[in-house]
Amino acid sequence: MTIIVHHLEDSRSQRVLWMLEELGLPHEVKRYERNKKTMLAPPELRRVHPLGKSPVIEDTDDGGRVIAETGAIVEYLVDKADGKLGAPAKRDDALSYRFWLHYAEGSLMPPLLLKLVLGRIPLMGKPATRRIQPMIDVHLDFVEQSLAGRSWFAGDQLTAADIMMSFPLEAARSRGGLDKSRPNTIAWLEKIHARPAYQKALEEGGPYAYA
């Protein structure tokens, strides 16, 4: 029995593959390619979940239960692994864990996505993205300060909060102005990229532009 990951290239589902490798949970990867013109997910994903987006997992141990949304999947996998990579025991670390778990998609990712979308609009797009960058910089400065003097986002060990933060920070390095001027964040990215489980997940998932 296994978990089936419906994996879309260059997407948030790369985090799910990484997490499964860190947890050591058996899984199977079904790859999907984006439409080369629109960069949207293929219609085949609608057969798995009505939203037609990735990541989506199917748990064959649970009657083929389908779980969508990265955060929901991550929390589901923490439960399935009996709390591994979940909230730390210390209350302050546990609160940090909960914050970063939701901050990744709730606060950091939206302006990065907005910049990407606006940048594709002819003529008016580039001027608009210049107004978005200061918003992104506020977040990147906050992340940089938060990582000062600490190895991980929620305590002394890797947690699911770090896995959630990987995609937006990789996107920020690619298109959001994250560079060596924020050394704590760059060091964190280099550290996760060096992990064997991360490397194995890249092999499984195929090309990943933000790694």
Q: Are 129 and 36 in the same domain?
A: no
pLDDT tens, position by position, 8-28: 887 889 999 999 999 999 999
pTM: predicted TM-score of the whole model, two decimal places: 0.92
Residue 200 has pLDDT above 80, yes or no: yes
**One-letter identity of residue 117:** V
Q: Are 111 and 187 in the same domain?
A: yes
Q: Are 107 and 188 in the same domain?
A: yes
Q: What is the pLDDT of residue 125?
A: 65
Instruction: Specify the CATH number for the domain of residue 16.
Output: 3.40.30.10
pLDDT tens, position by position, 38-65: 777 878 889 999 998 889 999 999 999 9
Q: Are 98 and 178 in the same domain?
A: yes
Q: What is the pLDDT of residue 211?
A: 64
Instruction: Specify the CATH number for the domain of residue 185.
Output: 1.20.1050.10
Q: Are 56 and 146 in the same domain?
A: no
CB 67 within 8 A of CB 59: yes
170/127: higher pLDDT: 170
Q: Are 102 and 138 in the same domain?
A: yes
Q: What is the pLDDT of residue 39?
A: 72
Which residues form the domain of 187? 91-195
Q: Are 113 and 183 in the same domain?
A: yes
For the chain, percent of residues with pLDDT exceeding 90: 74
Residue 90 has pLDDT above 80, yes or no: yes
Q: Are 98 and 183 in the same domain?
A: yes
In a domain, 27, yes or no: yes
Q: Are 132 and 189 in the same domain?
A: yes
E strand intervals along the chain = 3-8, 27-32, 56-59, 65-68
Average pLDDT, stretch 96-122?
91
For the chain, percent of residues with pLDDT exceeding 70: 98
Mean pLDDT over each residue of the chain, to the nearest integer: 92
In a domain, 211, yes or no: no
Q: Rounded to an integer, what distance in angstroms lies between the CA atom of residue 41 and that of residue 8?
A: 7
Q: Are 129 and 109 in the same domain?
A: yes
Average pLDDT, stretch 200-205?
94
In a domain, 180, yes or no: yes
Q: What is the pLDDT of residue 1?
A: 58
Three-class secondary structure of residue 18 per DSSP: helix
